Structure 1
């Protein structure tokens, strides 16, 4: 994710903080001062937010480390003002594994809440029960430990709402997948999530306007997850060789950008592989070409704008696997090589989208 600053690396996973998170801290600090709190109280409020997000990081590590047990790596963890995101390479497809990965995050918050409760009992700290009845009563910095306990409980309850993109939605799909195939389980879970989202929106109009945003967030998340899983289901029986493009254009690394512009205008292709002395060195897209033209001019060599972060695909690779890989690496085109190392063709995202449309049309026959 762009505009993020790396702040730590634990268990082989980088932790990043998005720049907007710093705005949140500044807003908390200035709001505290503006409400009449002194400097110490305002700093305590900021410390509370930092501690809360440390709990969020632990929550995300719960997902990440559990996924690692099932062979699924995590690219990074990013902190945003609305929470944290553990960027798993993929979700495990076995229902039991997805269930454990999904439940691991909230389970971490349960453990934190229990530890804080034990600490309160030992230290004789009383718990302001009105904060569970009305979360708006939580005052940052005051009653630090009870507030932290209350927020962890809220995190558990919120994350276990049975709707995508919350953990509860994935728990629900994992349970449904024990009876149905993954696509049908996702569709059912998404429909339940959308029903709950509509309920949140109605409640928002009657009680709290923030519930409207939560409802929209859930509705969009459920819709997105359903579309993604439907796409994967349509590609289930296809391999890379089934949609391989044998006709494609190679660009020479030492040709000028103006030549790439001419190629763009002369045909329908938008993504190209780039070679140097016969060896493939990378790829370029239409956006790369236009950006290079704007920043460097038409006389600059294509080599200056080539994307060297590319991967080679095998013809017998599952198309779903290739689709996921290209999405994860933000690649629009990949070369396809035979086991002997011969370049057979290319696969691009347009080809995959056309395959999806064809499979959807086939599914609609009869």
Structure 2
């Protein structure tokens, strides 16, 4: 993963730390030092981030391992300054499975909070439940409250928090998934407005940041649901490009440059004797030009690891496979022969046109008849 460092693997799931995590470390260290002018406080605050983010990893593993039970793999877990993100290949189509996956993360925090509560009571070392001091306080008490806060915050009914997915899953048991997502997204955006108002009135920039985060997450979920529905019954043959340039493995890169500048697509199938050998992406081309020059053959820089989809395959499934492989284009075949090129850009154009026609039909139905 770009801009992230791998720190471990659990059950085949890579754990990464994004480079922006360093901003949090710096902010915590500076804030602690400025509070009392103590370097020891700054070091203690940084060290406290270790168990904090260990808890976040366990939370995300709760989602990931539950998803594995339903045959859904997790690409990776990445730690950001605002928390962790487990990138599942997809969310379960069954609302009951989605509910269990969404609940698994907060459930981990509830279990951890329960264990910490039990330890604190048995040890009898806790002075007060509210005696929380992040730098020099009772570590177990601090971790107890962190788990309580994480569970409570994530259960808020707003995307992209777990509560938004729980609400969507519950609604989806009584209505279609798109309508359920729209309702959950609307509730989430309403909460984002409340966060923004309280953040503005209390001069709390963190609440304003959360408001933006929630608003964007809700909008993205609604958009993804609409796209999924729009492409659910559309075959790849309806959205693929049928007019495109084909390159040979021995063609110099200058030929690809000419096609790129004169055409409208960014990736080119590489074909020899009717067989697709690879695909030359724009990034392949740029890297090849910088390393070898425009006289280098296409075969030198093309990608041999490419996605092939059948023209009769549903576009929704093809897009999921593209996202899973983190590719932008796929080769489309029909009866084993090259038939087209599927790209995310072309799918976007298809959805744009489909949306415009849908609005036109809706406007025609609701227009007042002329006298």
TM-score by length of 2: 0.89
Q: 2:197 corresponds to which residue?
A: 202
Structure 1 segment 172-187 matched on structure 2, within 5 A: 172-187=167-182
Counterparts of 2:358 and 2:155, CA distance in 1: 34
Q: Secondary structure at the match of 2:279?
A: strand
Does 309-318 or 244-253 show the bigger shift? 244-253
Structure 1, unmatched stretches of 5+, are: 132-136
Q: Give CA-to-partner distance per residue, 1:189-246, whole Å, 9 cap, x none.
A: 1111111111111111112332111111111111111111111111121111232333
Deviation at 1:294, TM superposition (A): 4.2
Q: 1:146 corresponds to which residue?
A: 141
| Aligned residues: CA RMSD | 2.2
Q: Secondary structure at the match of 1:87?
A: strand
Counterparts of 2:259 and 2:81, CA distance in 1: 44
1:265 has 2:234 as partner: no
Q: 1:253 corresponds to which residue?
A: 249
Q: Secondary structure at the match of 1:130?
A: coil
Counterparts of 1:97 and 1:262, CA distance in 2: 50
Counterparts of 2:263 and 2:201, CA distance in 1: 56
1:322 has 2:312 as partner: no
Structure 1 segment 335-354 matched on structure 2, within 5 A: 335-338=331-334, 340-354=335-349
Kindly tell me: are residues 42 and 353 of structure 1, through their superposed partners in 2, closer, same or farther at Cα, counting changes over 3 Å?
A: closer
Structure 1 segment 78-157 matched on structure 2, within 5 A: 78-126=78-126, 128-130=128-130, 138-157=133-152
Q: Give CA-to-partner distance per residue, 1:127-150, whole Å, 9 cap, x none.
A: 64436xxxxx64234211111111
Does 235-244 or 193-202 show the bigger shift? 235-244
1:333 has 2:343 as partner: no
Does 311-320 or 284-293 show the bigger shift? 284-293
1:164 has 2:133 as partner: no
Q: Is the 8 Å Cα contact of residues 127 and 146 (structure 1) preserved in structure 2?
A: no
Kindly tell me: are residues 269 and 129 of structure 1, through their superposed partners in 2, closer, same or farther at Cα, counting changes over 3 Å?
A: same
Kindly tell me: are residues 277 and 25 of structure 1, through their superposed partners in 2, closer, same or farther at Cα, counting changes over 3 Å?
A: farther
* Count, aligned residues: 360
Kindly tell me: are residues 107 and 223 of structure 1, through their superposed partners in 2, closer, same or farther at Cα, counting changes over 3 Å?
A: same
Counterparts of 2:344 and 2:102, CA distance in 1: 29
Does 315-324 or 77-86 show the bigger shift? 315-324
Q: Is the 8 Å Cα contact of residues 102 and 170 (structure 1) preserved in structure 2?
A: yes
Q: Secondary structure at the match of 1:250?
A: coil
Deviation at 1:315, TM superposition (A): 2.3
Q: 2:352 corresponds to which residue?
A: 357
Does 173-182 or 42-51 show the bigger shift? 42-51
Q: Secondary structure at the match of 1:344?
A: strand
Does 216-225 or 40-49 show the bigger shift? 40-49
Q: 1:134 corresponds to which residue?
A: none
Q: Secondary structure at the match of 1:76?
A: strand
